[in-house]
A = this chain, B = another copy of it.
Amino acid sequence: MSQEETTSRILEAAGQVFADRGFKAATIRDICSKADVNLASVNYHFGDKQRLYIATIKHAHQLPSSQFPIPQWHAETSPETKLADFIQVTLSRMIPKGKAPWQAKLMMREMTQPTLAVQELIKEYIRPHFDLLLSILRQLVAKQTSEQQLTKLGFSIIGQCLFYRFNQPVLHMLVDEEMVDQHFSIEQLAQHITHFSLLAIRHFTEEPNDPSSILSTPITEQYSIGTESNTNLPEN
């Protein structure tokens, strides 16, 4: 067996096992037996379990990213179209469709329970993706929009997308299957998120409590918390 075949078989098996069970609960014995290689192969080829894990994470995010690339945009492509594309690609990469989505599972696991691998993941994969989103948003909002406002806008969009990845099990328990089948395809979700977000962004010029807000009434008076109705929220 060539070196490359062994390592790639280990990586494939490791991806599934790590995704299923997490770093600690996954055992090298499981991985090796699934990969049909000797127990010592992992230590020989990767050094130790930790480094195998990092290699697996790296290996994992390459496939979905190349499978669903960001389209090449023309110079005259509208930012709205770019945003729609961005959301569609993001959702496609994250939501299981057809075959084994263990890559996504693994990455999400890594994001909620970060290990050492998360730093590399962010630097190589998440950060550039997020920066792309911010550059699109910058074309959609008023020029004076601050960096932190833009960042929050970005998180509002990413948050909507991530919901359908993280909470797949919850989704299926809250929404009956028929509705999921009819209305929750990737395309439909992408369209909803795009629509929802563009509606908000279009009217999103200033911080809610900014005096120059377009809102007739400052938002803090319009729908503030605890002023009239809420007396038992803990202080903070």
Contacts and interface: CB of A to CB of B under 8 A. Distances in A.
B179 A148 contact: yes
The number of times this chain is found in the oligomer is 2
Contacts of A92: 233-234, 236
A163 to B, nearest CB: 3
A158 interface: yes
B81 A167 contact: no
A223 interface: yes
- Bin the interface of chain A by size: 35 or more
Nearest to A205: B199
Contacts of A160: 155-156, 159-160
Interface string A153-165: 1011011111110
A166 B202 CA distance: 27
A230 B89 CA distance: 11
A45 interface: no
B192 A152 contact: yes
- Looking at chain A's contact residues, is the secondary structure mostly helix, strand, loop, or mixed? helix
Interface string A53-94: 000000000000001110111100110110111001100100
A196 B200 contact: yes
9 contacts: A67-B234, A71-B226, A71-B229, A81-B222, A81-B223, A85-B225, A85-B229, A122-B170, A194-B219
Interface of A: 21-25, 67-69, 71-74, 77-78, 80-81, 83-85, 88-89, 92, 97, 108-109, 111-114, 118-119, 122, 126-127, 130, 147-148, 151-153, 155-156, 158-164, 166-167, 169-171, 173-175, 179, 182-184, 186-187, 189-200, 202-204, 208-209, 219-220, 222-226, 228-234, 236
